[in-house]
């Protein structure tokens, strides 16, 4: 008697289950290696992780906030943004009213804003251990400048209005402000332990992720006054992305396997879900219905329903799934597999991997060229930047920079405004 036929969909699910089980075997070894690497010259407080299922029964924001000496002092008011910025109540209001079927619609253009059209195209690379910035001319792949900033510059973040670039110097507790016209530093802003920086879609708040304090700070975007903060009770909070209307965001806690949901209006932690073992980068789907979460321990990407805060699918990609980037046409999601030296291409429509590209080394964070034809990838532990052709996956160039290049920014780029990180536009 013939065995019953198994559908293609059931086969795919069975394969996914097998890969997830195999991934568990690698996780213990991988986690130990990552902990050791993270402690090498970089401080990170690892606390005891409260079980997610019991946490919400006992959570009290006041009881779980860090001690008073860790609470950030309000920063003194600074000068207003450059004169080219839109008046209050015009561009900022319009930006929050728009998104429809495709939240990335404004970033699918191959043209940058008129106000940015005369800026020189440059790729800015933060070298974490060196405390330097490498500046690359993408037209020639030549390094045109290198300069020192401060300690542990993890990411380079375009400001919400795209008039400045801010280098996140975590150890020094500062942002180095770069003028994109000259490509050189022009100012410094003091903020406690900024590992990452984001902006709400309406531009009203800057969000500083202080990973080592397990805290997310909400600041006035122009004055840097502290408006409120949220303590995340799971170690390793580092990456986030916003809902289509910006009312909340999901944030990964890398060392805890937890994704948190934070309300941007009340500035409160409202929910969480446990996924995989080492969740890293997060991206909203183009239709705004689900979030994709790269998990370095599970070697793939989880899909989360943000309303139910449940994992609804898993897409195996490769060893050490780490960074995420939406393609210029918003049809594909690029995933860096840092332990495998590859890039996976996921089709948003089918939620399947359609291609795998080879970089070698340790591919990490992404940026796209304005025309979407080149994918620029930092090679975290190789001191290099890889440039790929997005039509073929061909490796076009490898450019050697400094020690541990991470959150590079290709600037300028299309979009109405920047959501932060190292260049996420809508």
> What's the CATH code of the domain at 155?
2.130.10.10
- The total domain count for the chain is 1
Q: Provide the pLDDT for residue 193.
A: 98
Nearest residue to 190 via CA among 73, 301, 298: 73
Considering the domain boundaries, does residue 404 fall inside one? no
Considering the domain boundaries, does residue 248 fall inside one? yes
The pLDDT-based confidence of 63 (bands split at 50, 70, 90) is very low
The Cα–Cα gap between 126 and 413 comes to 18
Considering the domain boundaries, does residue 216 fall inside one? yes
Window from 49-53, 68-72, 178-182 with minimum mean pLDDT: 68-72
Q: Do 386 and 361 form a contact (C-beta atoms < 8 A)?
A: yes
Considering the domain boundaries, does residue 76 fall inside one? no
- Angle in degrees, CA 149, 151, 155, rounded to 5: 75
Residues, the chain: 426
Summarised one tens digit per residue, pLDDT across range 77-103 is 444 444 344 444 444 444 444 445 899
Sheet holding 374-379, edge to edge: 363-368, 374-379, 384-389, 395-400
Considering the domain boundaries, does residue 96 fall inside one? no
Q: Provide the pLDDT for residue 44.
A: 41
Q: Provide the pLDDT for residue 352.
A: 98
The pLDDT-based confidence of 377 (bands split at 50, 70, 90) is very high
Q: Do 419 and 199 form a contact (C-beta atoms < 8 A)?
A: yes
Summarised one tens digit per residue, pLDDT across range 140-164 is 999 999 999 999 999 999 999 999 9
Element (H, E) at 37: helix 8-39
Percent of the chain's residues with pLDDT above 90: 76
The Cα–Cα gap between 208 and 187 comes to 18
Q: Do 379 and 387 form a contact (C-beta atoms < 8 A)?
A: no
Q: Provide the pLDDT for residue 52.
A: 52
| Host domain of residue 14 | 8-64+106-120+147-338
Summarised one tens digit per residue, pLDDT across range 3-60 is 455 454 555 555 555 555 555 445 445 545 444 544 444 444 334 444 454 455 445 4
- Residues paired with residue 346 on neighbouring β-strands, in sequence order: 333, 353
The Cα–Cα gap between 347 and 355 comes to 9
How would DSSP label each residue in 118-137? Answer: TSPPEEEEEETTTTEEEEEE
Backbone angles phi, psi at 330, to 5 degrees: 60, 25
Considering the domain boundaries, does residue 360 fall inside one? no
DSSP label at residue 77: P
Backbone angles phi, psi at 15, to 5 degrees: -65, -40
| Whole-structure pTM value | 0.83
The Cα–Cα gap between 77 and 19 comes to 52
Considering the domain boundaries, does residue 390 fall inside one? no
Considering the domain boundaries, does residue 210 fall inside one? yes
């Amino acid at each position: 008697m013939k065995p019953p036929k198994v559908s293609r969909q059931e086969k795919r699910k069975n394969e996914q289950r097998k890969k997830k089980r195999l991934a568990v075997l690698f996780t213990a070894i991988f986690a130990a290696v990552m902990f050791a690497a993270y402690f090498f010259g970089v401080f990170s407080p690892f606390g005891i992780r409260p079980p997610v299922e019991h946490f919400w029964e006992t959570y009290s924001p006041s009881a779980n906030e860090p001690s008073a000496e860790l609470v950030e002092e309000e920063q003194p008011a600074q000068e207003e943004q450059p004169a080219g910025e839109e008046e209050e109540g015009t561009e900022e209001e319009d930006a929050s009213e728009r998104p429809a079927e495709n939240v990335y619609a404004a970033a699918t253009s191959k043209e940058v804003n008129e106000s940015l059209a005369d800026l020189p195209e440059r790729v800015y690379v933060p070298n974490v251990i060196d405390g330097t910035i490498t500046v690359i001319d993408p037209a020639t792949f030549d390094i045109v400048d290198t300069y020192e900033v401060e300690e542990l510059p993890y990411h380079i973040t375009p400001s919400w209005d795209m008039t400045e670039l801010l280098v996140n110097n975590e150890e020094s507790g500062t942002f180095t402000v770069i003028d994109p016209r000259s490509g050189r530093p022009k100012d410094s802003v003091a903020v406690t332990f900024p590992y990452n920086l984001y902006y709400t879609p309406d531009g009203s708040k800057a969000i500083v992720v202080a990973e080592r304090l397990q805290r997310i700070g909400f600041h006035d975007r122009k004055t840097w006054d502290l408006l409120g903060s949220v303590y995340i009770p799971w170690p390793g909070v580092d990456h986030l992305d916003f809902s289509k209307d910006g009312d909340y965001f999901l944030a990964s806690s890398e060392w805890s396997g937890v994704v948190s949901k934070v309300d941007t209006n009340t500035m409160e932690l409202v929910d969480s879900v446990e996924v995989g073992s080492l969740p890293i980068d997060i991206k909203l789907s183009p239709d705004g219905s689900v979030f994709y979460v790269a998990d370095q321990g599970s070697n793939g990407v989880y899909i989360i329903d943000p309303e139910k805060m449940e994992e609804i699918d898993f897409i195996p990609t490769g060893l050490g799934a780490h960074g995420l980037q939406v393609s210029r046409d918003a049809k594909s999601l690029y995933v860096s597999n840092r332990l495998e030296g590859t890039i996976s291409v996921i089709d948003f429509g089918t939620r399947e991997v359609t291609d795998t590209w080879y970089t070698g080394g340790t591919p990490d964070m992404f940026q796209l060229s304005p025309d979407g034809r080149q994918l620029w990838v930092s090679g975290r532990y190789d001191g290099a930047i890889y440039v790929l052709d997005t039509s073929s996956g061909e490796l076009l160039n490898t450019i050697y920079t400094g020690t541990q290049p991470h959150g590079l920014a290709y600037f300028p780029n299309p979009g109405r405004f920047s959501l932060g990180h190292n260049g996420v536009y809508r």
